[in-house]
Structure 1
Amino acid sequence: MARLARANHFAPEEIAIVHVFNRVVRRCFLLGDDPVTGKNYDHRKAWIEELIKLQAKFFAVDVLAFSILSNHFHQILRSRPDVVATWDDTEVARRWLMICPQRKGPDGLALEPNEAELNSIRTDLDKLKMIRSRLSDISWWMRLLCQKIGQRANAEEKIPGKFWESRFKAVRILDEQALLACAAYVDLNPIRAALAELLEDSDHTSIQRRIVAMQEKAADTDKQRSDGFLAPLTIDERRDALGPYPHRCGERASDKGFLAMSLESYIQLLDWTARQIVPGRRGSTPEPAPAVLERLQLDAPAWCELVRDFGRLFSLVAGRPRVIDAARSRGRKRRFTVPHRLRELLHE
């Protein structure tokens, strides 16, 4: 059966949380140690991380989590058309021209657009409407990210051709349980791939950024926080501001969190989960399962399998079976398939 178009399960005009990932061609290790060529391309992981950070400044897309490995990368993104609605026409034009500049400085970075460049967008109502839509569009986020990295890698090696295996894959997250499992899946990827043993040593991940930022906060340093481009992890539905809650310091789209737990509790959950998933990790007798699993009505074995096999259990949308059963595609209102194993796992 032909796959559904992405517009059938998420669109730029609605707020959606989506797990996106992409892989380089032929499963080569073009972002790490490549055994075929004997070359090391770890510096390209830094390219991707810096580009994510740059795009987070100008898109209305919240970066919830990310991890970059040797032949693929993951992100959890939240589209924010409600944040775009708070921007005037000049701000929309300025942001787009900082992402796709007409002029660059000697360092290759975008120069602040001049009045003529701004007018080329804000005086054209059709173009302005299109760009407003693009600024919260996860497909455009991924299109530009993958395009720029592919072009830069090809230029480095002086060869043409495809760098990425295909168009990026996307899974829409429908509920809190799936979001937490997906975040853990993404942040634990380097440990599962044996690239790291500890969370704080998991290079090019959101969890490493958040841990470093905790240390910076404890040290009360004045420098810009390492996780400033990431959406805050904790959401307090009773106390947090309602509405778009746009970020005012220019590092990210908004100050809205996404998990009903503290960062400390999330780190504890990740550490506990890593010990269960990876054989031979320190500690022969596991600690009791974190209380958050009880709140989410997940038993420990089911949780570990959800995190370990997230990519196999979910293809287009992710959530509890009853939530997926109630969801429909946006166009033909088609139902999404729920794997039998998922129903067994969650007793639904």
Structure 2
Amino acid sequence: MTRPRAALVSVADTPWYHVVSRCVRRAFLCGSDAHSGQCFEHRRGWIVERVKQLAGVFAIDIAAYAVMSNHYHLVLRIDAERARAWSRDEVLRRWTQLFDGPLAVQRVLAGKGDQLDAATQLAIDAWAETYRARLCDLSWFMRVLNETIARKANAEDDVTGRFWEGRFKSQALLDQQAVLTAMAYVDLNPIRANMAETPEDSEHTSVAERIAALRPDPCAELRPASPAALSTPTVPPATAPIADLALKCEAHLAPLPLQPLMPFDPSVRLGAAIPFAFDDYLELVESTGRCIRPDKRGAISDHTPALLDRLNIDPERFIDCATKLMQQFGSAVGAPVHLTALCAARQVKYLRGMAAAKGVFERRAA
């Protein structure tokens, strides 16, 4: 039975989530459509850019991503504490980067708030709290992301209608083991799909971006900025109607700055960081990537990467999980004790993936 989104995404349970959004029917997000022969490869950049732009507006950080031919994956962290720390005006500023908002809100941001009466000020305070909740809401993040990409794709194809499936899929990541497994699953998607041989060759994935960042590019300063960065937003006429929930047009959204990916921090001193060392994670992805190629046996034969030992994860089961995460687990991923606790919190008797969790995250002593 389908459960309401509020029951599946709860920051009280975990701030970490793996989400997947897929195109409807034969629609192509990117790649080449064998049926029509048309290439949509350039749309991969749309997704990566828009995800990073929205991460700079919402209180949501991106740990991993992979853009495939007809779907994309994200591993992200919702930072509700950050949203609570924003001032009223900061909340209004962020929200109006995406939506026009009421005229009174625009007047406040224009420095004319002292001209408003007390009742209007109270209304603005209430709107700000509504916007604050939305800016740390996964459903709102996905709504804005998918709507803006659908607009661009439909405009390019000169069609109308639905571009995405009705609901994005989400998995709650309940512990460090789950976060690590989901990130590896996402970063290795192109290898699993025979689209790349190595992590650094898997275009439009977070691991390839992180590896590329380690290599200095001497031509970076000479390279011209992208057209989107140079474009000037088109300001709507003053008489245009203002709709609180109407997304701004692409000309307004394109210049939004890009938020970098979450950093790695093995010391766990940073709240908004991935709790591993990057070199350990890279070793794990490299080892697992070699194992899940079609011409390889599914085992890490040379040595067990340090992260698997540290988190007590069975190597061979981990490889299987890195290819079948969506099939083996349902709406949550984690160690058996954490899945059991989530069952109690959701008041359900069972969560799909308990057997897989016992196999992967309860490593037996040799």
Worse overlay, 93-102 or 293-302? 93-102
Normalised TM-score (structure 2): 0.78
Go from structure 1 to structure 2 and tell me whether the alpha carbon gap of 1:186 and 1:288 turns closer, same or farther (over 3 Å shift).
same
Asked if 1:168 corresponds to 2:184, the answer is no
Question: Identity rate of aligned residues, in percent?
Answer: 32
Matches within 5 A, 1:133-152: 133-152=133-152
Alignment correspondent of 2:244: none
Asked if 1:195 corresponds to 2:195, the answer is yes
Alignment correspondent of 1:106: none
Go from structure 1 to structure 2 and tell me whether the alpha carbon gap of 1:115 and 1:13 turns closer, same or farther (over 3 Å shift).
farther
Asked if 1:309 corresponds to 2:305, the answer is no
Moved over 4 A (4+): 12-15, 116-123, 221-224, 329-335, 344-348
Q: CA deviation at 1:46?
A: 0.7
Separation of aligned partners in 1, 2:266 and 2:199: 22
Gap runs ≥5 in structure 2: 102-108, 226-257
Alignment correspondent of 1:100: 99
For residues 213-256 of structure 1, what are the alpha-carbon distances to aligned partners after superposition, in whole Å with 9 as ceiling and x for unaligned? Answer: 2223x98x8899xx95211122413xx25xx6xxxxxxxxxxx2
Asked if 1:280 corresponds to 2:295, the answer is yes
Worse overlay, 43-52 or 327-336? 327-336
User: Does the Cα contact within 8 Å between 2:17 and 2:173 map onto a contact in 1?
Assistant: yes
Q: CA deviation at 1:315?
A: 1.4
- Number of aligned residue pairs: give it: 319
What secondary structure does 2:195 align onto? Answer: coil
Alignment correspondent of 2:333: 318
User: Does the Cα contact within 8 Å between 2:53 and 2:259 map onto a contact in 1?
Assistant: no
Alignment correspondent of 2:277: 262
Residue type matched to 1:114 in 2?
A
Q: CA deviation at 1:345?
A: 4.7
Q: CA deviation at 1:165?
A: 2.1
User: Does the Cα contact within 8 Å between 1:14 and 1:80 map onto a contact in 2?
Assistant: no
Go from structure 1 to structure 2 and tell me whether the alpha carbon gap of 1:54 and 1:341 turns closer, same or farther (over 3 Å shift).
closer
Matches within 5 A, 1:1-348: 2-11=1-10, 16-26=15-25, 28-101=27-100, 114-115=110-111, 124-216=124-216, 229-237=260-268, 240=269, 256-259=272-275, 261-280=276-295, 286-328=301-343, 332=347, 335-346=350-361
Residue type matched to 2:110 in 1?
N
Go from structure 1 to structure 2 and tell me whether the alpha carbon gap of 1:303 and 1:13 turns closer, same or farther (over 3 Å shift).
closer
Q: CA deviation at 1:332?
A: 4.7
Separation of aligned partners in 2, 1:15 and 1:277: 29
What secondary structure does 1:298 align onto? Answer: coil
Q: CA deviation at 1:287?
A: 2.5
* Cα RMSD, aligned residues only: 3.2
What secondary structure does 1:51 align onto? Answer: helix
Residue type matched to 2:143 in 1?
R
Go from structure 1 to structure 2 and tell me whether the alpha carbon gap of 1:81 and 1:122 turns closer, same or farther (over 3 Å shift).
farther
User: Does the Cα contact within 8 Å between 2:280 and 2:306 map onto a contact in 1?
Assistant: no
Q: CA deviation at 1:146?
A: 0.5
Q: CA deviation at 1:344?
A: 4.3
For residues 91-122 of structure 1, what are the alpha-carbon distances to aligned partners after superposition, in whole Å with 9 as ceiling and x for unaligned? Answer: 110011112247xxxxxxxxxx6346998898
User: Does the Cα contact within 8 Å between 1:12 and 1:138 map onto a contact in 2?
Assistant: no
Separation of aligned partners in 1, 2:113 and 2:135: 17
Go from structure 1 to structure 2 and tell me whether the alpha carbon gap of 1:116 and 1:315 turns closer, same or farther (over 3 Å shift).
farther
Separation of aligned partners in 2, 1:117 and 1:271: 55
Go from structure 1 to structure 2 and tell me whether the alpha carbon gap of 1:144 and 1:273 turns closer, same or farther (over 3 Å shift).
same
For residues 35-61 of structure 1, what are the alpha-carbon distances to aligned partners after superposition, in whole Å with 9 as ceiling and x for unaligned? Answer: 111101111111111101111111110
Q: CA deviation at 1:77?
A: 1.2
Q: CA deviation at 1:89?
A: 0.7
Larger Rg: 2
Separation of aligned partners in 2, 1:263 and 1:234: 8
Separation of aligned partners in 2, 1:171 and 1:90: 33
Go from structure 1 to structure 2 and tell me whether the alpha carbon gap of 1:115 and 1:123 turns closer, same or farther (over 3 Å shift).
farther
Separation of aligned partners in 1, 2:122 and 2:56: 20
Residue type matched to 1:317 in 2?
A
What secondary structure does 2:214 align onto? Answer: helix
Separation of aligned partners in 2, 1:178 and 1:41: 32
Go from structure 1 to structure 2 and tell me whether the alpha carbon gap of 1:12 and 1:288 turns closer, same or farther (over 3 Å shift).
closer
User: Does the Cα contact within 8 Å between 1:93 and 1:128 map onto a contact in 2?
Assistant: yes
